[in-house]
């Protein structure tokens, strides 16, 4: 690893082979913004491959963003190349049709001959392996504020060609106050956890509310894509098993979370094809997978990726975790959502999705109105439960009428 200035980085990027080199970039909340800026200014044409690109991502002619999970930085970008696929399968792309020419990572300062990918592991280990096979370029933005996490995050400095020192605080979520609806949903979700089980939680008010409800549990394990402050709260409440590692593939949370993660022996940062492998997820007894949704229809099909028929995010890991949790002994694949979307004044439980499906066949759909326990139900039974237990009372008459048109009610009009 050679410490260099911006000019050297620009020269090496400009020397990449091909008219449209592919650069795999640390995504989510670990974007190496200075390296991205240099690439944008240096390369007339390139393809940037990243998960969940954030606001400020470059958008101009000549730059094509490739991603299986769309973030706010590229929503509505006409040049976006969205890849609709399960997150667990994404690393395979680097060995086939989308080989990387360079990898740009955001890393910790060196310790004992290594740096750490810190809060973002995900697809990066695979990208680093494949770019090395091709003799490509690896550039690290070194940041003293990046925690040195363990597991697959640890990279030998000899695997990095160039390093640019750029210190600065990492992003944290904007604090949001809980509300009665989120608390009610979180409390219901928590009922499906068992002492000694394992949990997967996302980020936002509903997962945080579920985490609050889980604090009464004991000896919980963690196997999750995203690890946030809700999990840290569980640890401090004594709900987690002190003898089990906490396994995740990226972090996003408060500075307090990042400080806790630094050289944390119980935190195991793993590559996405391990964390998202449904077989590995299923191996955890009592696996509670909690995912959000934008809409659910009367056939128990969930949309978590499209808004008004435009791509908003993507599959992400939801299909992986739903499948894995369903195959876990005593596991539950829970989808949690508010029954009513206030901004559009519409029900989130709808007759039939018009957009691509993110996942289906869940254990239970949870809203503030109740829990529709769907596993093992016939089609008419699950329709009845979705209407009577999950939907907002305002939407139920229309949903019952739609269920009749769709043939989802019995001859007597019941489920």
Residue 397 has pLDDT above 60, yes or no: yes
Give the model's confidence band at 108: pLDDT under 50 very low, under 70 low, under 90 confident, else very high.
very high
Task: Please give the pLDDT value at position 101.
Answer: 98
Residue 113 dihedral angles phi and psi, to the nearest 5° = 80, 15
Mean pLDDT value of segment 385-400:
98
| DSSP 8-state code for residue 335 | E
The confidence score (pLDDT) of residue 412 equals: 55
Distance between CA atoms of 240 and 220, rounded to whole angstroms? 4
The pairing of strands 226-227 and 250-251 is parallel
What pLDDT score does 207 carry?
Answer: 85
Catalytic residue among 225, 268, 273, 373: 225
pLDDT in tens, 251-264: 999 999 999 999 99
Task: For each of the domains in the chain, give its residue range(s) and CATH number, in order of start.
Answer: 2-165 (3.40.1080.10), 180-405 (3.40.1080.20)
* 361 has pLDDT over 90: yes
Quote the pLDDT of residue 414: 59
**Partners of 111 in the β-ladder:** 114
| CA 287 to the chain's CA centroid | 17
Query: DSSP letters along 269-312, please?
Result: E-BHHHHT-HHHHHTSTTEEEEEE-SEEETTSEEE-SEETTEES
Cβ atoms within 10 Å, residue 335: 28
pLDDT value of residue 203: 74
In the structure, what pLDDT confidence band is assigned to residue 344 with cuts at 50, 70 and 90? very high
Average pLDDT over residues 97-126: 97
The sign of the CA dihedral 197, 202, 203, 207 is negative
What is the C-alpha separation between 371 and 334, in angstroms, rounded? 10
> How far apart, in Å, are the Cα atoms of 392 and each of 70, 85, 348, 353?
29, 32, 9, 17
Tell me the average pLDDT across 56-74.
97
pLDDT at 339 over 70: yes
pLDDT value of residue 226: 96
Burial class (CB in 10 A: 0-12, 13-18, 19+), 172: middle
Judge contact between 370 and 387, C-beta under 8 A: no
Residue with tokens 């997962």: 207
| Whole-number Cα distances in Å, 294 to 121, 235, 246 | 27, 29, 28
Contact 30, 108 (CB under 8 A): no
- Show Cβ contacts of residue 352 under 8 Å, excluding neighbours closer than 6 positions: 297, 298, 299, 402, 406
CA-CA distance, 193 to 284, in Å (whole number)?
13
**Residue 415 pLDDT > 70, yes or no?**
no
225 catalytic residue (yes or no): yes
Mean pLDDT of the chain: 96
Give the pLDDT confidence score for residue 33 in this predicted structure.
98
What's the pLDDT at 86?
Answer: 95
DSSP 220-235: BEEE-SEE-HHHHHHH
Percent of the chain with pLDDT over 90: 93
> In this structure, what is the dihedral angle of CA atoms 150, 31, 322, 397, given to the nearest 10 degrees?
150
At 121 the pLDDT is 98
The phi, psi pair for 107, rounded to 5°, reads -135, 165
Strand partners, 289: 200, 333
**pLDDT at position 177:** 77
Q: What is the pLDDT of residue 413?
A: 54
Say what the pLDDT of residue 204 is.
77
Q: What is the pLDDT of residue 297?
A: 98
Q: How far is CA 303 from CA 200, 307, 313, 334, 356, in A?
A: 19, 9, 10, 14, 7
Beta bridge partners of 102: 23, 137
């Amino acid at each position: 690893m050679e410490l260099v200035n911006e000019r050297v980085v620009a020269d090496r990027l400009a020397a990449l082979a091909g008219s449209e080199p592919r650069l795999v970039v640390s995504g989510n909340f670990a974007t190496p913004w200075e390296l991205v800026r240099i690439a944008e200014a240096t390369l007339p044409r390139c393809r940037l491959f990243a998960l969940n690109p954030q606001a400020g991502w470059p958008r101009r002619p000549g730059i094509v963003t490739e991603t299986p999970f769309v973030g706010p930085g590229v929503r509505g970008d006409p040049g976006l190349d969205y890849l609709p696929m399960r997150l667990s399968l994404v690393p395979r792309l680097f060995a086939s049709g989308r080989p990387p020419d360079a990898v740009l990572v955001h890393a910790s300062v060196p310790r004992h001959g290594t740096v750490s990918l810190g809060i973002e592991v995900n697809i990066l280990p695979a990208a680093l392996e494949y770019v090395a096979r091709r003799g490509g370029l690896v550039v690290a933005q070194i940041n003293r504020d990046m925690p040195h996490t363990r597991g697959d995050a640890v990279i030998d400095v000899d695997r990095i060609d160039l390093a640019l020192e750029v210190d600065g605080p990492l992003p944290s979520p904007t604090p949001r106050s809980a509300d009665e609806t989120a608390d009610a949903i979180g409390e219901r979700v928590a009922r499906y956890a068992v002492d000694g089980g394992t949990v997967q939680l996302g980020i936002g008010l509903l997962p945080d509310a579920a985490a609050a409800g889980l604090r009464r549990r004991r000896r919980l394990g963690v196997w999750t894509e995203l690890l946030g402050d809700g999990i840290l709260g569980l640890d401090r409440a004594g709900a987690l098993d002190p003898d089990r590692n906490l396994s995740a593939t990226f972090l996003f949370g408060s500075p307090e979370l990042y400080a806790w993660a630094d050289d944390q022996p119980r935190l195991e940062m793993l590559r996405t094809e391990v964390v998202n492998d449904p077989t590995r997820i299923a191996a955890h007894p009592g696996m509670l997978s909690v995912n959000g949704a934008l809409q659910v229809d009367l056939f128990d099909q969930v949309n978590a990726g499209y808004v008004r028929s435009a791509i908003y995010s993507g599959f992400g890991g939801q299909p992986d975790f739903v499948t894995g949790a369903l195959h876990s002994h005593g596991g539950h694949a829970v989808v949690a959502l508010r029954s009513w979307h206030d901004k559009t004044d519409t029900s989130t439980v709808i007759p039939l999705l018009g957009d691509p499906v993110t996942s289906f066949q869940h254990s239970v759909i949870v809203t503030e109105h109740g829990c529709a326990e769907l596993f093992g139900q016939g089609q008419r039974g699950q329709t009845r439960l979705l209407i009577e237990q999950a939907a907002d009372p305002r939407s139920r008459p229309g949903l019952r009428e739609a269920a009749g048109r769709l043939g989802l009610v019995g001859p007597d009009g019941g489920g």
